[in-house]
Amino acid sequence: MSTPKSSGMSSVINVMRRELSGYFSTPVAWVFIVIFLVMSGVFTFYIGSFYERGMADLAPFFQFHPWLYLFLVPAIAMRLWAEERRSGTIELLLTLPLTTGQVVLGKFLAAWLFLGLSLMLTFPVWLTVNYLGNPDNGIIVAGYIGSWLMAGGFLAIGSCMSAVTRNQVVAFILSVVVCFGFLLSGLPMVMNVFTQWAPQALLDVIADFSFLAHFAAISKGVIDLRDLVYFVLVTAFWLMANTIVLEIKKAD
Amino acid sequence: MSLSKNFGGIVAVDRLSFSVGAGEVLGFLGPNGAGKSTTMKMLTGFLAPSGGTATINGHDIINDSLAARRIIGYLPEGAPSYGEMTVRNFLEFIARARGFKGREARRKAAAAIDRLNLESVPEQTIETLSKGFKRRVGLAQAILHDPQVLILDEPTDGLDPNQKHEVRSLIRDMSSEKIIVISTHMLEEVQALCNRAMIIADGRLLVDDTPAGLIARSRYHNAVTLVVEEPERVASILSEIPQARKVELREGELTVFPAEGARLFEVISDAVKEYGWSVSELRLEAGRLDEVFRQVTQGTVGK
């Protein structure tokens, strides 16, 4: 009669597996991958002047990732919770013997793995640069890791925003705005909002919150533990916020 | 094994309190918006009660929510499921979420498929199924872990009569050893399925009784209805008998209501013989559930 207790991680993996298989049974995954690949190609080769630079590295490829993610990651994230609300499955999912945290983490990991897969499919760029010259592959690997971690940060923000509203368009816009804030914090346009009134300590914190600065460091091949920890912390923070938001307004 | 629940509610459910034991099939009855679904959502841990709490087999729904959810099988309103999954994959997902691993999870899913007669569609995606099949998939996920407590929110809503019959016999088959709570706004369902009924309106418990007891509250209970020639004349004669409290003529049917504790049927059938009326129909009323329902819910809503 009594059902077994499930361990925490296997519950997370179960949710993740279900979610991930859901991506590939709808056109969402394929459309996303194609657009991601085309866009990153366009940015790298045309706007980034990959050939004209005459340098064997992937800087023009990685430098546009923050901007690419700014719109594409919220597009993936907006449906995470809004879709569960629309179909009513949120009630099914959250009345199973799973904690909200397990469900949040499972769904996040699925989307993050999916983004990782999309990122891996850009491997022809890496092949190209190796064919054309002798790049420092260590830097390239660092760039990929940094890019994936940054995508996780964007994704956690988007997931939280998706839990805030049941409207997918609103979720998309909210997460683009918040992601944009995180991207640019440290740049004058964000700092100006705070300089008038905020204490210097807070200004330093905000200035240090920029995705761009941390990503730039990693993609130059400098894997500083602080940059990695930064992305992990940002991701963890937004996933916690996501869990709390969901606890408060799961039934709305 | 008993449940006791005590809600101080949001506007929807107002200090609803009751307990249910094994073998009971409890029907929540009430107009739309009465608070039936809200109560179920609180029991299953989807909504946090704004006051009070409930205990399910000793597990508090707030402090021990996971343990409570483990022994509950829940069919949310409308039987939501992941449309893009196949029936089998969906049920295996539920089985793993319920803590079954590997082969055991597959076995549980297969057993649920068997139990709900889904053998013809296990590899079909759920979104391609008819409403009746979708509802059965919802029931399959609810009973998959053989829960001690089964909470079903409008399990037969929107099904055709055959499907309703099928779902009801399934529920009846499981009812002996479980606690089953169903919500419905269909009165005949309570009669067909439940051995206990609670009428809820505006989040308050108005009546808690057996279906038979509910019917006995009807003013039609033990009344006699007859269809007869010259009803006006018959009505005036019958209104003279001491056992009759009141006589009503409606759409050619004459209904005689008994005085307190009176047995009308014999008296009236004797009168029929005595006066030689030509009667085409003579029946003893059990009571009308819809009338009790209206009386109970509107009576208090109005006040």
Asked whether residue B147 falls in the same domain as residue B179, the answer is: yes
Q: Which of B193, B215, B237 is the last residue of a domain?
A: B215
Q: B88 with B123: CB under 8 angstroms?
A: yes
Q: Is residue B231 part of a domain?
A: yes
Residue at B293 is within a domain: no
Do B99 and A14 make contact, defined as CB atoms within 8 angstroms?
Answer: no
The yes-or-no verdict on residue A186 having pLDDT over 80 is no
Quote the pLDDT of residue A53: 72
Q: Residue A1: is its pLDDT beyond 70?
A: no
Same domain, B110 and B16: yes
pLDDT of A91 > 90? The answer is yes
Residue of B82, B134, B151, B152 best to disrupt the A interface, most CBs of A under 10 A: B82
Q: Is residue B133 situated within a structural domain?
A: yes
Same-domain status, B42 and B174: yes
| B205 in the same domain as B275 | no
Integer Cα distance of B302 and B286 in angstroms: 27
Q: What is the strand order of the sheet B149-153 is part of?
A: B72-75, B149-153, B179-184, B25-29, B196-201, B204-209
Per the listing, tokens 């190209």 go with A128
Q: Is B295 domain-assigned?
A: no
The answer to whether A3 contacts B99, with C-beta atoms less than 8 Å apart, is: yes
| Domain containing residue B261: CATH number | 3.30.70.100
Which domain, by its residues, includes B275?
224-285
Q: Locate the domains of chain A by residue range.
A: 27-249
- pLDDT tens digit sequence for A206-242: 777 788 888 888 877 777 788 888 889 999 999 999 9
How many domains does one find in chain B?
A: 2
DSSP letter at A31?
A: H
Q: Residue B105: pLDDT band by 50, 70, 90 thresholds?
A: very high
Q: What confidence tier does A5 reach under pLDDT thresholds 50, 70, 90? A: low
pLDDT tens digits, A117-152: 999 999 888 888 888 888 888 888 888 988 999 999
Q: Does B98 contact chain A (CB < 8 Å)?
A: yes
The per-residue pLDDT for B3 is 39
Interfacial residues of A (vs B; Cβ cutoff 8 Å): 1-6, 10-11, 14-15, 17-18, 21-22, 25-26, 87-89, 91-92, 94-99, 250-251
- Indicate whether B142 and B27 sit together in one domain: yes
pLDDT of residue B6: 47
Question: Do B160 and B16 share a structural domain?
Answer: yes
For B36, which DSSP code? Answer: H
Closest by Cβ to B97, choosing from A5, A88, A96: A96
pLDDT band at A252 (very low <50, low <70, confident <90, very high): low
> How many C-beta atoms lie closer than 10 Å to residue A69's C-beta?
25
The answer to whether residues B171 and B236 belong to one domain is no
List the single residue in B with minimal CA-CA distance to A251. B47
Q: Are residues B211 and B228 in the same domain?
A: no
Burial class (CB in 10 A: 0-12, 13-18, 19+), A16: buried
B167, B184, B215 — which closes off a domain?
B215
Same domain, B176 and B245: no
Q: Are both B260 and B131 inside the same structural domain?
A: no
Of A17, A26, A95, the CB nearest to B84: A26
Do the Cβ atoms of B66 and A99 come within 8 Å?
Answer: yes
- Averaged pLDDT for residues A63-75: 89
Residue B294 domain flag: no
Q: Is residue B142 domain-resident? A: yes
Residues A53, A45 contacting (CB under 8 angstroms):
no
Q: In the prediction, which pLDDT does A57 show?
A: 75
Whether B211 and B232 map to the same domain: the answer is no
What CA–CA distance (Å, rounded) separates A233 from B96?
A: 30
Answer with the one of B157, B180, B215 that is the final residue of a domain.
B215
What's the pLDDT band for A4 if we cut at 50, 70, 90? low
Examine residue B260 and state whether it is found in any structural domain, yes or no: yes
pLDDT tier at B249, thresholds 50, 70, 90: confident
Same domain, residue pair B188 and B230: no
Cα of B57 to nearest chain A Cα, Å: 12
In a domain, B292, yes or no: no
Name A188's Cβ contacts closer than 8 Å, sequence gap at least 6: none
B121: CATH: 3.40.50.300
Helix (H, G, I), strand (E, B) or coil at A178: helix
Is the pLDDT score of B203 beyond 80? no
Nearest to A214 by CA among A153, A127, A130, A170: A153
Tell me what pLDDT residue B299 has. 64
Q: Which of B74, B80, B100 sits opposite A89 (nearest CB)?
A: B80
Nearest CA in chain B to A24: B84
pLDDT of B2 above 50: no
Instruction: Summarize pLDDT for B34-90 with one digit per residue, the tens.
Output: 788 888 888 898 888 877 788 888 888 888 889 999 999 999 998 999 999 999 999
